[in-house]
């Protein structure tokens, strides 16, 4: 088998997606052996996922942040610490989507086998954990998502 890009070179590896042959240079071109066609397809998928995440962050995260802010700052007239500030609470709410995506990648999909009450409980627990995971995951995922568009 020869390289899909360089027919005179013999293939040393195969594209991980479609199995076409790749020469030494083409194998090392990207972080994993992948042909140019499959690379641009996967890049398009990543970009779409990044756009979806930004939209979900605005549609779900922003309202969650506003609700958090209303819940906390309804009882306190003025926020008296950074953790009660509008900035922090809205930031925390915005991060719920990034936190959720991070957690669902590392937790097994056990909720599929739970009864309805268990599913609800799982959902609530995941939402709370997502808020905290999002504090770290939100900036990391946002930078990674944005960098997709500037490569």
Q: Is 133 in the site for Zn ion (CB under 5 A)?
A: no
What is the nearest approach in angstroms of Zn ion to the Cβ of residue 31?
15
CA gap 10, 131 in Å, rounded:
51
By the rule CB under 5 A, 2 interacts with Zn ion: no
> Which of 31/81 has CB closer to Zn ion?
31
Q: Which range binds Zn ion by CB under 5 A, 1-9, 86-94, 111-119, 137-145?
A: 1-9
Contact between residue 93 and residue 137 where contact means Cβ atoms under 8 Å apart: no
The answer to whether residue 12 forms part of the interface with Zn ion (CB under 5 A) is no
Q: Is 35 in the site for Zn ion (CB under 5 A)?
A: yes
Site for Zn ion contains 26 (CB under 5 A): yes
Give percent helix, percent strand, percent coil of the chain, each to the nearest 5: 70, 5, 30
Residue number, 23 or 133, with CB nearest to Zn ion: 23
The answer to whether residue 11 forms part of the interface with Zn ion (CB under 5 A) is no
| Rounded Cα–Cα distance for residues 143 and 136 (Å) | 12
> Helix, strand, or coil here: 17?
coil
Cβ-Cβ contacts under 8 Å for 6 (sequence gap 6 or more): 23, 25, 26
Positions in the binding site for Zn ion (CB under 5 A): 3, 5-6, 15, 17-18, 23, 26, 35, 38
């Amino acid at each position: 088998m020869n390289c899909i890009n360089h027919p005179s070179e013999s293939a040393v590896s195969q594209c991980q997606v479609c199995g076409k042959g790749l020469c030494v240079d083409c194998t090392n071109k990207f972080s994993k052996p992948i042909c140019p066609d499959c690379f641009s397809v996967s890049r398009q998928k990543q970009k779409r996922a990044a756009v979806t995440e930004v939209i979900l962050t605005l549609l779900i995260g922003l309202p969650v942040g506003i609700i958090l802010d209303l819940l906390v700052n309804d009882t306190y007239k003025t926020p008296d610490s950074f953790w009660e500030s509008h900035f922090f609470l809205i930031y925390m709410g915005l991060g719920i989507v990034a936190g959720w995506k991070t957690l669902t990648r590392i937790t097994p999909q056990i909720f599929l086998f739970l009864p309805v009450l268990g599913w609800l409980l799982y959902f609530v627990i995941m939402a709370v954990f997502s808020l905290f995971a999002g504090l770290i995951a939100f900036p990391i995922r946002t930078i990674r998502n944005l960098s997709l568009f500037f490569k």
